[in-house]
Amino acid sequence: MSARVPITKRDKVDNRLALLGYGALVVDDSLPAEHQEMLERLRAGAALRIAEATKNDTRRPNIYFDFIDDGQFNAIATVLEDDYLILVTSGAVVSLPTLFRNLFSLPQFLPDVGDPSVETEVPPVSIGSASHHGSVVDAMPYPERLPNCSIRSSAAARFSQTAMNFLLLHELGHIRNGHLRYPLPGATGQLAEMEAVSQGEGEALARHTLENDADSHAVVHGVNETRRLTGPSRADDRTLDEAMYATSEASLYAYLLPIYALLRCFSRGTWTADTIWTSTHPPPAMRQYLLAPLVDAHLSRRNRPFVPREKIYEIAGDVIAQTERGLSALTGSRPDLAEFDRAAKLWPSYGRQLTEYWITAFPTLETLKLGGRLAPPDPWRDGDPELEH
């Protein structure tokens, strides 16, 4: 089972991408055999997740998942005639595993997973300024560091897949929730994960609202999958599961950390309260700040809580501290939570603006969505019926 763009449609898709100013679809035949196998495994996994998420939708158009050569963004959702496309960049496919292999090569990173004693410290580096102004991935050690412990290596692969799944489910949220048909100025039929400059506060407000909606879609499906993973005998690698998924708290930790790292590391620039509406996307720190509330809002609908509310926020704080310490060791940059603190302070006014915009957008999106429930005011779509009893 594969979600790739069919051969008969690839030229048309490439022409569409060129008109948008983007790169072309990845040509598998030009890659080494092991890379071709990796991409096909990712496509097959994406096809299964798309099928599962959309099985009860009232409208089920063709949704393809494939890869694109482009350095401007991490992923894009777009529509071509009656077909929907989710395209992830080849750079993200390479950089995500590199990021987590580097982190798990540190003995101090998640020391309860595997045998950290066989890992080695990073040679001393001069501590520089915070790395929020540039992509953290660009500052990773080269050549990359690899975990010596096989369990930690497996954990790195699992974290990379979790982050990739978030990208997929975020873009699928744009499609299922009607965002690609929503009348956004200058963005008809495409929404990319890139920090482009907006045309004004009104357009930025609309885009930020849709991005928050797509994040909530990804969190709902991601948390539901995490619940199903929880338990020491739920997967083949029992040892890894016992370290990362034996309890609900550990499972949530193993879900939130890759997403926080993704948002933290694959972004550039900085922002202030005065510049928040100059970008088409919410600041990464704002999206990071909202991860715990999105999980909380979703789980609060359950009669049997997966993780107590106070524990969700405690885990989120631990995730931030663990990730920042690891990134500091790898890049030589001091941990810097200034942008995260700024997001916390700005959220009351920022969130109110998003909610007010959502109220006006909801009637239009309700007619454009493909199925399920939309996010606020009745939040966190597509609950798992098994988990609601």
pLDDT tier at 18, thresholds 50, 70, 90: very high
**Both tokens of residue 48?**
């299964």
- pLDDT at residue 331 above 70? yes
Handedness of CA 78, 181, 288, 306 (dihedral sign): negative
Pairing outcome for strands 75-80 and 190-192:
antiparallel
Give the pLDDT of residue 265: 84
Express each pLDDT in 134-193 by its tens digit.
Answer: 567 777 777 789 999 999 999 999 999 999 999 999 999 999 999 999 988 666 678 888
Tokens 């098994």 locate to: 386
Phi, psi torsion values for 85, nearest 5 degrees: -130, 135
Distances (CA, A) of 55 to 174, 224, 298, 371, 382: 17, 15, 20, 9, 11
Q: How remote is the C-alpha of 198 from its chain's centroid?
A: 22
pLDDT tier at 232, thresholds 50, 70, 90: low
pTM, rounded to two decimals? 0.92
- pLDDT at residue 377 above 70? no
Q: Is 135 exposed, middle or buried (0-12, 13-18, 19+ CB in 10 A)?
A: middle
- As a whole number of angstroms, the distance between CA 336 and CA 329 comes to 13
Going from N- to C-terminal start, the domains of the chain cover: 92-388
Mean pLDDT of the chain: 85
- Which of 119-133, 317-331, 369-383 has maximum average pLDDT? 317-331
| Strand locations in the chain (E) | 63-68, 75-80, 83-89, 190-192
Q: How remote is the C-alpha of 133 from its chain's centroid?
A: 20
pLDDT tier at 350, thresholds 50, 70, 90: very high
3-class state of residue 282 by DSSP = coil
| Cβ–Cβ < 8 Å for 74, 193 | yes
- pLDDT at residue 197 above 80? no
